[in-house]
Amino acid sequence: MTGTSTFRIEPQARWPLSPEAAAAWFSDKWGIPAAAYLESFRETPRQGVPAWYLAFPEDGCEPVGGIGVIENDFHKRPDLRPNLCALYVAEAWRRRGIARALLDTACAALAAHHVGRVYLLTDHTQFYEHCGFTYLCDAEDAAGARARVYVRNTVEARRRCPPEPTQPEEIPFQS
């Protein structure tokens, strides 16, 4: 930690680090190959999903948190999309509102693109419910295990967190 308790959230287009460094950061947190993150970073403009966000200390360039928006987070319900994924906040930076701010930022960007709902797959319960998500159903993940699917109305997030101006590479999500 850099000694500051304030943070900023940056969309992929404004990261102060390379896509390779960001992919390595996410890979280290989730055990998914960095190449998979790099592929998703490159596909973001074609998918039209506002994609990836990182949280940084206000005066720093090393990520302390991150989140992604993807079509499907490794579950067998393709009708439940887009999905939030890879939410992570460094332990030393937890309990400062970073996770909620990442969720709100991603949801507000989706709302700005007229995407009314977003889903996530998790085994957590209370945290997401406190962040405006509602349990929807169970779904089978790619490994065949059951996981909880939550849904959130993105318009509520937009009221709390006005989105940044649209970046040229962001294309409205097509359902």
The pLDDT tens digits along the chain (175 residues) read 334 469 999 999 899 999 999 999 999 999 999 999 999 998 876 555 657 999 999 999 999 999 999 988 888 898 999 999 999 999 999 999 999 999 999 999 898 888 899 999 998 878 999 999 999 999 998 888 998 999 999 986 555 554 444 443 343 333 3
For domain 7-160, the CATH architecture is 3-Layer(aba) Sandwich (3.40)
Contact 101, 89 (CB under 8 A): no
pTM above 0.85, yes or no: no
Place of tokens 């005066």: 59
| CA-to-CA dists, residue 40 to 7, 47, 80, 87, 102, angstroms | 25, 9, 18, 15, 18
**3-class secondary structure, 11:** strand
Domain boundaries defined on the chain: 7-160
How big is the CA angle at 8 (ends 41 and 106), to the nearest 5 degrees? 50
Sign of CA dihedral 4, 52, 79, 158: positive
- What stretches of the chain show up as alpha helix (H) in DSSP? 19-30, 34-47, 98-112, 126-130, 154-160
Please state, in angstroms and rounded to a whole number, the distance separating the CA atoms of residues 153 and 151: 7
Please give the pLDDT value at position 65.
98
Residues 6+ apart with CB under 8 A from 41: 12, 19, 22, 23, 51, 52
